[in-house]
């Protein structure tokens, strides 16, 4: 639980993060809270142990905040890399991982890099399978109209660890009818 510097509100560490809860003049009254907050418990987040080989000079990827879903991964380059407009480059990270079976790592763009420099990841999210043991690279493309620079150690992407299910495909002559049917690509309306 975090308190404001003025002591007028606090933030509870529940599944709805950073909700300001106001204190009454004399004492805190939980009856004024939303029922989900009043009765909620901390969400159980599974912690998965992943073996990592780090051949870079960069620290291991880490969650930047307690609510982060992804860990930032950094460029493992000796000198700055220039990327021209609409050019793409594979940027090494110096990281190799061993994921438990049933898990994947997804390499995704960083919103700050996209907003500030126009750089994003192609093949996004890029999937790292549990049986892959090679070095992780991020495919970075420059969507801006100016040449952009990636510096050594710069945070270039984020990695999200996720469970997955394996499906068995079954040939069928027909599919169950739905109201939507075959409508796609905007068929549900613009607004």
Residue 30: CB atoms within 10 Å: 9
* Nearest one of 58, 54, 55, 71 to 106, comparing CA atoms: 71
What pLDDT was estimated at residue 191? 67
Intervals of CATH 2.70.40.10 along the chain: 51-163
Going by the DSSP 8-state scheme, the letter that residue 184 receives in this structure is -
List per-residue pLDDT tens for the chain, 191 residues long.
Answer: 444 444 434 333 333 344 444 434 444 444 555 555 545 556 677 788 999 999 999 999 999 998 999 999 999 999 999 999 999 999 999 999 999 999 999 999 999 999 999 999 999 999 999 999 999 999 999 999 999 999 999 999 999 999 999 999 999 999 999 988 888 877 777 66
Yes or no: say if 98 and 51 are a contact pair by the CB < 8 Å rule: yes
Q: The whole model's pTM is what?
A: 0.72
What pLDDT was estimated at residue 184? 81
Distances (CA, A) of 102 to 21, 50, 82, 129, 167: 39, 13, 37, 9, 12
**Record: fold of 51-163:** Deoxyuridine 5'-Triphosphate Nucleotidohydrolase; Chain A (2.70.40)
Yes or no: say if 134 and 94 are a contact pair by the CB < 8 Å rule: no
Distance CA 173, CA 42 (A): 46
């Amino acid at each position: 639980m975090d308190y404001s510097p003025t002591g007028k509100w606090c933030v509870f560490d529940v599944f709805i993060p950073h909700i300001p809860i106001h204190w009454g003049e004399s004492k805190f009254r939980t009856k004024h809270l939303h029922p989900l907050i009043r009765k909620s418990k901390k969400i159980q987040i599974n912690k998965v142990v992943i073996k990592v080989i780090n051949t870079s000079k960069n620290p291991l990827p880490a969650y930047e905040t307690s609510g982060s879903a992804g860990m930032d991964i950094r460029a493992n380059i000796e000198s700055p890399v220039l990327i021209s407009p609409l050019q793409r480059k594979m940027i090494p990270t110096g990281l190799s991982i061993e994921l438990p079976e049933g898990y994947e790592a997804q390499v995704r763009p960083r919103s700050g890099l996209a907003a500030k420099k126009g750089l994003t990841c192609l093949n996004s999210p890029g999937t790292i399978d549990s049986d892959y043991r090679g070095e992780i690279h991020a495919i970075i493309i420059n969507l801006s109209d100016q040449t952009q620079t990636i510096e050594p150690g710069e945070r270039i992407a984020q990695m999200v660890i996720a469970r997955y299910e394996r499906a068995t495909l079954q040939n069928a002559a027909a599919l169950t009818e739905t109201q939507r049917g075959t409508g796609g690509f905007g068929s549900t309306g613009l607004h």
